[in-house]
Amino acid sequence: MLRGLTSYLDSVRARDPAPRSRWEILLYPGVLALGLHRVAHWLFEAKMYFLARFVNHFSRFLTAIDIHPGAKIGKNFFIDHGFTVIGETAVIGDDVTIYQCVTLGGTNPTNGVGGKRHPTIGDNVIIGSGAQVIGPIMVGKRARIGANAVVTDEVPEGATMIGLKARSTLVPAEDWLKEFLPYGTPCDDPCEEQFGEKVAEGTRRVQALEADLETLKAELEALKAGQLPLTGGAGERRSGTAD
């Protein structure tokens, strides 16, 4: 048991550059919330629902993290900071990292049966702060959910979801063979490569518009100085418009 705890604390330290020791990690609200959830889930599985809920509410009071006792959570789960909500039928894989203010929420079943209504999160997924993952969807392994994204559709393995409503930007699998990146976002975001051509085209258009603007400014200055007749160039265009 002690070896398992040490291994878990080391996995948290590998993903968070802030702590100086394992003892410090023990004070993290996410670590405490996970430990209490293990107890609550055991009681839930034993059908001692009231006690499970009691532990759940006690944990929420201490940590500002609400994990339903029915949620199934794998190894090395790390919640960095609080104000996170995880629903009853959520399933979370191994080595998943969640930042603050994340919701793994459910949808209202149309057939009146509870069933599976919360997301399933694959192994090694990173969910950014403020993200909302809603409904009985699957988030594939090694996927990343960007900050404040709202995800309501299936997420492919290795994809990055950004925006509201979230859209997918596929990431090459070899990018995920690297070591863990704190906060889940490298400086050279792979989204830039995918949209590089569109960005370059937009840059060229802006540069052309700026050149036209400079030309018009020069013609206007010449008109003010009386150095340019009203025929030709920008003057002719303006004269034609006046007619």
- Provide the domain limits for residue 85: 2-194
Residue 197 pLDDT greater than 80, yes or no: no
How far, in Å, CA of 94 to CA of 91, rounded?
10
For the ranges 8-12, 149-153, 207-211, 223-227, the lowest mean pLDDT is seen at: 223-227
Mean pLDDT of 142-153: 93
Instruction: Tell me which amino acid residue 59 is.
Output: S
- Comparing 58 with 200, the larger pLDDT belongs to 58
Q: What is the CATH number of the domain that holds 75?
A: 2.160.10.10
| Residue 238 neighbours by CB distance under 10 Å | 14
* 147 and 211 inside one domain: no
* 146 and 33 inside one domain: yes
Range among 4-13, 178-187, 194-203, 233-242 rated most confident: 4-13
pLDDT of residue 14: 92
Q: Is residue 32 part of a domain?
A: yes
* 135 and 78 inside one domain: yes
Number of domains in the chain: 2
* 62 and 9 inside one domain: yes
* 56 and 145 inside one domain: yes
| Residue 23 neighbours by CB distance under 10 Å | 9
* Model pLDDT for residues 198-227, shown as the tens digit of each residue: 667 778 888 888 899 999 988 888 888 876
* 35 and 118 inside one domain: yes
* Model pLDDT for residues 160-195, shown as the tens digit of each residue: 998 888 777 765 544 555 566 665 555 554 555 555
* 72 and 184 inside one domain: yes
For the range 237-241, what are the long-range contacts, defined as Cβ-Cβ under 8 Å and sequence gap of 24 or more?
Answer: none
* 7 and 42 inside one domain: yes
pLDDT of residue 242: 45
How far, in Å, CA of 79 to CA of 178, rounded?
21
For the ranges 23-27, 28-32, 180-184, the lowest mean pLDDT is seen at: 180-184
